[in-house]
């Protein structure tokens, strides 16, 4: 298991209980999706796996290590794409990637090669020296994706990867996710977008009010709910309307 | 209150009781590793600085000179010598040291607030092997660097004008570095309390400006009422100003002032780290 959680709880200092006794295992090489409405606890889960903050109680291991003791070691092997485009607005596309690689202590020569490779991968070679505030939202999203895989991560964690993307950028992002997965990388993602989950995920956990309410393969979910698509499953599982 | 043993046991089991502590956000890293990693944040700051430094340096250059000429030249004709120094010679070392305070205050107030709340710079960096402690130590080191840089820029014209009587004034740059670290810690502590950008007005009007006006930059503090002069003696800026003034006349007897500043660094840096951790990571 690359990620293992047992009876995980998260209560914020504000008192909000975001995660209530969640347990799950994510296997090496799978694409695992967390689906659920806003405020369900998806981003909180992602942040705990990303070693951003600790759980309030319960056991969590990432790559067999405890995030509270070995956060730096774990994060060296993670690629994290957050929900918002938190690129450095003062810097160019190249500088953003260069500095980010620096935080991973990637040697200079390798860093430059990797940046060229990634800019080609996300189709932004021509925007290399543009300030990130001067490129479109979709292009920024692609830079964030490139940034998240600069360290060739073992686990790629994507929080709403295609939020706000045009169809072209979305296809670019999906194809990169599939390629990385084909190379054996584990992918964890959260999404609102049913088609994205259906297209990419091997297993989908429906999260609601801090709990996993259903966990199965996309086919398993369809069969269990006698549904034709995931949207139908979502509505039956959550008992509420889609927010999209 | 739980025992350290229970705390460590809980932490190792992946379970934390109660509030999040700075150490909880450091993922078991040693302070030495975080100190080493902090250079990466410093390098980020340098990259951004290299893109914007021209305008910034011109402002930093003129601002203290304005004070010096407006107050120094204007008032010096009405004021006799103070401890053997002309009035403009008397205030020059103080103006030099306050440059360090202003530099560190800017770098750790608006700049850090923006990085937390608007640009979300730290959120991005925390997705790498960096942690809160390495980020904040890097910020303080950068504030100290800016203090040194700005002081050097201001020192050159003042020295050329012959306002310093001794080359020992160069040592004041190191004193300014300590002042920079202290005011970066104050700036970070203020940022940890602030809930909106406008609130920085409170910090600058009621904390930074009084320090600037009362810390012996413009007149000897012996002129102040007893209680006030006692409080001024407690401020780090006063010790920085006094040390620079002694150095400007070739007196190296600054040891007590330097020790005081070092003690303040040791006390304030951990406090600033503790305060800001919970603001950077809302857990």
Of A56, A70, A91, the CB nearest to B28: A70
The HSE-up count of residue A170 (CA atoms within 13 Å, CB side) is: 14
Measure B23 CA to nearest chain A CA, in Å: 9
pLDDT at residue A243, rounded to an integer: 46
pLDDT in tens, A89-133: 989 999 999 999 999 999 999 999 999 999 999 999 999 999 999
Q: What does chain A look like in DSSP terms, one character per residue?
A: --EEEEEEEEE-TTS-EEEEEEEEEE-TT-EEEEE--TTSSHHHHHHHHTTSS--SEEEEEETTB-TTT-HHHHHHTEEEE-SS----TTSBHHHHHHHHHHHTT--HHHHHHHHHHHHHHTT-GGGTTSBGGGS-HHHHHHHHHHHHTTT--SEEEEESTTTT--HHHHHHHHHHHHHHHHTT-EEEEEES-HHHHHHH-SEEEEEETTEEEEEE-HHHHHHHHT-SSHHHHHHHHH-S----
Residue range A156-162: mean pLDDT, rounded: 93
- State the residue for tokens 């967390």: A34
pLDDT at residue A133, rounded to an integer: 94
Residue range A33-61: mean pLDDT, rounded: 92
pLDDT at residue A234, rounded to an integer: 87
Interchain pair B20, A54: CB under 8 A: yes
B129 touches A at CB < 8 Å: yes
Residue range A144-156: mean pLDDT, rounded: 96
Q: What is the distance between the alpha carbons of residues B239 and A102, in angstroms, rounded to a whole number?
A: 38
Which chain B residue has its CA at the smallest distance from A90's CA? Answer: B48
Of B29, B128, B281, the CB nearest to A53: B281
Q: What is the distance between the alpha carbons of residues B203 and A119, in angstroms, rounded to a whole number?
A: 44
Tokens of B137: 């130590």
SS (H, E, C) A186-205: EEEEEECCHHHHHHHCCEEE
B159 touches A at CB < 8 Å: no
| CA B164 to chain centroid | 24
B52 touches A at CB < 8 Å: yes
**The pLDDT of residue A242 is above 80:** no
- pTM here is 0.89
B-chain CB neighbours of A73 within 8 Å are: 129
Please state the ipTM of this predicted complex: 0.91
Burial of B205 (0-12, 13-18, 19+ CB in 10 A): exposed
Interchain pair A88, B40: CB under 8 A: no
B-chain CB neighbours of A104 within 8 Å are: 128-129
Q: Which of residues 248-277 of B touch A (CB under 8 A)?
A: none
Q: What is the pLDDT along chain B (283 residues), one digit of tens a residue?
A: 456 666 555 555 444 444 556 666 776 778 888 899 999 999 999 999 998 888 777 877 787 788 777 877 778 778 878 888 888 899 999 999 999 999 999 999 999 999 999 999 999 999 999 999 999 999 999 999 999 999 999 998 899 989 999 999 999 999 999 999 999 999 999 999 998 888 898 998 999 999 888 888 888 888 788 888 888 999 999 999 999 999 999 999 999 999 999 999 999 999 999 999 888 887 6
Q: What does B58-117 look like in DSSP terms, one character per residue?
A: HHHHHHHHHHIIIIIIHHHTTS--BTTB-HHHHHHHHHHHHHHHHHHHHHHTHHHHHHHH
Interchain pair A51, B283: CB under 8 A: no
């Amino acid at each position: 298991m690359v990620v293992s959680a047992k009876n995980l709880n998260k209560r914020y200092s504000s008192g909000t209980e975001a995660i209530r006794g969640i347990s799950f295992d994510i296997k090496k090489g799978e694409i695992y999706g967390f689906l659920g409405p806003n405020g369900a606890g998806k981003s909180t889960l992602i942040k705990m796996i990303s070693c951003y903050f600790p759980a309030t109680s319960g056991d969590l291991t990432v790559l067999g290590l405890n995030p509270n003791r070995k956060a730096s070691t774990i994060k060296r092997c993670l690629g994290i794409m957050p929900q918002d485009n938190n690129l450095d607005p003062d810097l160019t596309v190249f500088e953003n990637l260069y500095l980010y690689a620096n935080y991973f202590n990637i040697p200079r020569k390798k860093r430059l090669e990797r940046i060229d490779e990634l800019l080609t991968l996300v189709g932004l070679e021509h925007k290399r020296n543009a300030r990130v505030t001067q490129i479109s939202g979709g292009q920024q999203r692609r830079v964030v994706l490139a940034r998240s895989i600069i360290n060739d991560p073992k686990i790629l964690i994507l929080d709403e990867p295609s939020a706000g993307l045009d169809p072209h950028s979305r296809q670019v992002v999906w194809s990169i996710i599939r390629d990385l997965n084909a190379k054996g990388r584990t992918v964890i993602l959260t999404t609102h977008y049913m088609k994205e989950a259906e297209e990419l995920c091997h297993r989908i956990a429906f999260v609601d009010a801090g709990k996993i309410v259903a966990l199965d393969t996309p086919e398993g979910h369809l069969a269990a709910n006698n549904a034709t698509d995931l949207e139908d499953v979502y509505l039956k599982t959550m008992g509420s309307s889609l927010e999209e | 209150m739980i025992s350290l043993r229970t705390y460590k046991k809980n932490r190792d089991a992946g379970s934390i009781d109660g509030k999040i502590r700075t150490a909880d956000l450091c993922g078991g890293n040693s302070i030495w590793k975080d100190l080493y990693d902090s250079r990466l944040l410093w390098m980020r700051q340098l990259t951004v600085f290299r893109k914007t430094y021209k305008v910034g340096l011109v402002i930093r250059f003129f601002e203290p000179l304005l004070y010096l000429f407006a107050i120094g030249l204007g008032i010096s004709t009405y004021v006799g010598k103070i401890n053997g120094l002309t009035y403009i010679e008397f205030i020059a070392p103080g103006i030099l040291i306050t440059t360090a305070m202003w530099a560190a205050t800017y770098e750790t107030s608006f700049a850090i607030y923006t990085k937390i709340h608007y640009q979300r710079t730290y959120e991005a960096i925390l997705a790498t092997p960096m942690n809160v402690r390495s980020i904040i130590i890097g910020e303080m080191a950068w504030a100290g660097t800016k203090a040194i840089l700005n002081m050097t820029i201001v020192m050159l014209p003042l020295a050329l004008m012959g306002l310093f009587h001794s080359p020992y004034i160069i040592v004041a740059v190191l004193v300014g570095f300590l002042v920079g670290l202290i005011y970066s810690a104050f700036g970070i502590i203020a940022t940890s309390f602030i809930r909106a950008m406008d609130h920085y007005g409170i910090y600058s009007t009621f904390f930074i400006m009084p320090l600037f006006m009362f810390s012996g930059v413009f007149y000897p503090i012996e002129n102040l009422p007893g209680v006030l002069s006692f409080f001024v003696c407690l401020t780090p800026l006063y010790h920085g100003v006094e040390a620079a003034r002694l150095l400007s006349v070739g007196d190296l007897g600054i040891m007590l002032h330097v020790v005081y500043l070092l003690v303040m660094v040791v006390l304030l840096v951990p406090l600033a780290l503790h305060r800001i951790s919970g603001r950077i990571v809302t857990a």
